[in-house]
Amino acid sequence: MPVGLVIMKWDERIGTQIIAKYPEEVVIGDKTLMQVYSTHEYTGEPGMVSLMVGSLNVASYYTGQETGCYIILLLSLEDEPDLYESGLADVSRQILANIENENLINLIPSIFQRLSVYPKLNLEQKLAIIYQDEIKRIIINRLRDEGVISKSELLVWLKDKYQHGFVDIEAIIASLIKNEIIKEASVKGMPSELVFLTHDLLFSRIPPVKLIKAPSSHGLPSNLANNYVTECKKFFQEYKLSENDNLTLIDLLIDPPVYETIKLLRQTIVTRNDLEKLKKKGVDDVDYVLKKLWSSRMIQVFQDESGNEYYTLLSDFFVQQFFPEYIINTIKKEYKTKSKSNQVLIEYLNVLEDTFMARKESKKKIKQESK
């Protein structure tokens, strides 16, 4: 488990300079900071390095010469630094966007909390973090339209869109490849490697079916059951899938106390006393969680004749990584309009075939293991 987070910059006049740290009492010496700086200088590239300094286990992410920021995560000796690499890359843009203002100090606790739980995130949380990242999202959206793009064109396009922002394209591409969203390959005659979309992401609200089918069996007084079912039906009659709503859902997914509460609400209908018991699982501020769930229309509250309140899930959410069959139509269109060369489109079909067969084999293996 991480024990601290330090944001450092290098100043040619004074050397290492701590910009922010969390918790405030965390101690890291100048010698250690110099060692971190020297290790990054040796590699000369943006990205993460890990090192042991005395009793300190350190994972440090360098944003590159242009921005010159070092995001140093102090770990327990038993922690594996590589598990935090994607998390450090994900939070780097948020840190750089706020490093020149006082807002960074307020953000550091939540950034540290997010990094702390990163290795324990489940699949739906990991997919949510991918799509929350604005740059990864616009890459996915462009590939939804085109299917394939050269890496060099992608780099120029991103630099043009983010002239004043930090973009570690190699880290972004590596993360999307690792999560099987894209694949990188070379095609003879092409001056740059190509980036292919191999999986897409779907986010949507869905009804809490298990609870709706039997509200009384899940903790709601029987005289309130019909009201609950009516409210859920009303919500989904009005619900429309949208990018903004998806981003709202994602914000809930990656907020550890909120997500812990949702996990409970998926299983049962609860009272305030039930929610207070979640403090054992890190939900220290129940009011904050309830406010966030209420404002995003995730919960409904019912009251019985005695004034007891019951907190119910109004909508659940569905997150899925899926094979983009629709992209075949895009390939047909690009073949007809000759917007992509035949060699590129043939390679893309080969990539899609390999991806599809690998998915099929994986599902078959999982099915056999479950027997």
Per-residue pLDDT tens digits for 236-285:
999 999 999 999 999 999 888 999 999 999 999 999 999 999 999 889 99
Query: Residue 241: what pLDDT?
Result: 94
Alpha helices by DSSP H, listed for the chain, are 30-43, 85-98, 103-117, 123-132, 134-146, 151-161, 169-178, 209-213, 222-238, 243-253, 256-267, 272-276, 286-295, 327-337, 342-370
CB 289 within 8 A of CB 197: no
What tokens were used for 286? 């129940």
CB 179 within 8 A of CB 290: no
Minimum mean pLDDT range among 57-61, 76-80, 203-207? 76-80
Residue 59: DSSP 8-state: E
Q: What is the mean pLDDT of the chain?
A: 90
Q: Determine the Cα–Cα distance for residues 255 and 120; give it in Å rounded to an integer.
A: 13
CA dihedral 240→243→244→250, nearest 10 degrees, is: 110
Q: Which tens digits make up the pLDDT trace of 17-48?
A: 899 999 988 888 888 899 998 999 887 788 89
User: Exposed (0-12), middle (13-18) or buried (19+): which is 293, by Cβ within 10 Å?
Assistant: buried
Single pTM value for the model: 0.82
pLDDT above 70 (res 167): no
Q: Which tens digits make up the pLDDT trace of 201-223?
A: 999 999 999 999 999 999 999 99
Query: Residue 14: what pLDDT?
Result: 80
Identify the three-state secondary structure at position 316: strand
Query: Residue 67: what pLDDT?
Result: 82
| pLDDT average, residue stretch 353-363 | 90
- With tokens 């102090």, the residue in question is 74
Residue 82: DSSP 8-state: G
Q: Determine the Cα–Cα distance for residues 173 and 176; give it in Å rounded to an integer.
A: 5
Q: Which residue, among 36, 69, 80, has the nearest Cα to 54 in the 3D structure? A: 36
Query: Residue 160: what pLDDT?
Result: 82
Helix axes 342-370, 327-337, angle to 10 degrees: 170
Neighbours of 260 (CB within 10 A): 14
Q: DSSP labels for 104-144?
A: HHHHHHHHHHHHHHGGG--HHHHHHHHHHSHHHHHHHHHHH
Q: Residue 206: CB partners within 8 Å, gap ≥ 6?
A: 315, 316, 317, 318
What domains appear along the chain, each with residue ranges and CATH number?
4-120 (3.30.450.50), 125-199+323-370 (1.10.10), 202-319 (1.10.10.10)
CA dihedral (52, 22, 133, 355) positive or negative: positive
- Start-to-end C-alpha separation, the chain: 35
Query: Residue 68: what pLDDT?
Result: 85
pLDDT above 90 (res 97): no
Q: Determine the Cα–Cα distance for residues 331 and 147; give it in Å rounded to an integer.
A: 8
Neighbours of 121 (CB within 10 A): 19
Q: Which band of pLDDT confidence, cut at 50, 70 and 90, is reported for residue 163? A: low
CB 9 within 8 A of CB 69: yes
Beta strands 4-11 and 15-22 are antiparallel
